[in-house]
Each structure stands twice: as structure tokens, then as C-alpha cells.
Amino acid sequence: MTRYVRLISRVWEDGESFDADPETPDYVVDDDLICETDEWSSGVIKAAEALHDRGCTELSCMPGFHPDLWYSDPDGSFVDDYRTGRRRENSGHLYGFSELEQWQVWQLLTGEILVT
């Protein structure tokens, strides 16, 4: 099975559409980033970097690690275009990763060591 990170951005084109209905974005952008091991990096490191680069570092559940958790931006939605007031809310979801690999991604993002 291919391992990948699905990076999802919910987007509201202006502040008025967000204020009117913050639960329903104007559109959604999905990007799937394949995270297979190659001669330069492991799939786990690629996944952690993709999540971190998109700002998805907050766990979907607390405290600690749980299989199949997902990551979001700790700031929630944020304005990414001050001219138009466009808002964006990012999240990242792991697919095809074993429980051990998910735990390794969690460790890289949180810096926590989990003793089992």
C-alpha cells in the first residue's frame, strides 16, 4: 500500500463568507503527497516534514499518541490574504502508514518519547 499524507485546506474567499458560516468553506483543496522511502529520506521523515511545512502540528486528540490521529494548524483558521480577507484552515491526514510509522511521525512532530 502506498503511504501518503493528505493535506486539506478549507478556504473562505473573504471575511464575510467566514463570518456568515464558519463551518462551510467556499471550497476545499486536497493535496496528496506520496511519502515513500528513497535514497535520501524515509517515508516517515517526508510525512513529518509535509505536516510541519503546512503548519499541521496540533494533534486531533490529546494527550499522547493514538493510531489514526490527524494533525491541524494550532491557530485554527487564519487569514492568508489580507487584501481580500481570505481565510484558510489546514489539516493533514496519514494514509497507508503502519501504527509504528504513525507513532514515529508523532514523535518527530511533538518531540515526545513514548515508552511502551
Does residue 87 contact residue 10 with C-beta atoms inside 8 Å? Answer: no
Mean pLDDT across the stretch 9-24?
Answer: 88
Q: Is residue 115 predicted with pLDDT exceeding 60?
A: no
pLDDT band at 116 (very low <50, low <70, confident <90, very high): low
Mean pLDDT across the stretch 1-5?
Answer: 90
Q: Is 38 part of any domain?
A: yes
The pLDDT tens digits of the residues spanning 22-75 come to: 889 999 999 999 998 887 789 999 999 999 999 999 998 877 888 899 999 988
Q: Is 115 part of any domain?
A: no
Give the count of domains, the chain.
1
Strand partners, 33: 5
pLDDT band at 113 (very low <50, low <70, confident <90, very high): low
Q: What is the mean pLDDT of the chain?
A: 89
Q: Is 80 part of any domain?
A: yes
Domain range for residue 80? 4-110
Q: Is 104 part of any domain?
A: yes
Q: Is 116 part of any domain?
A: no
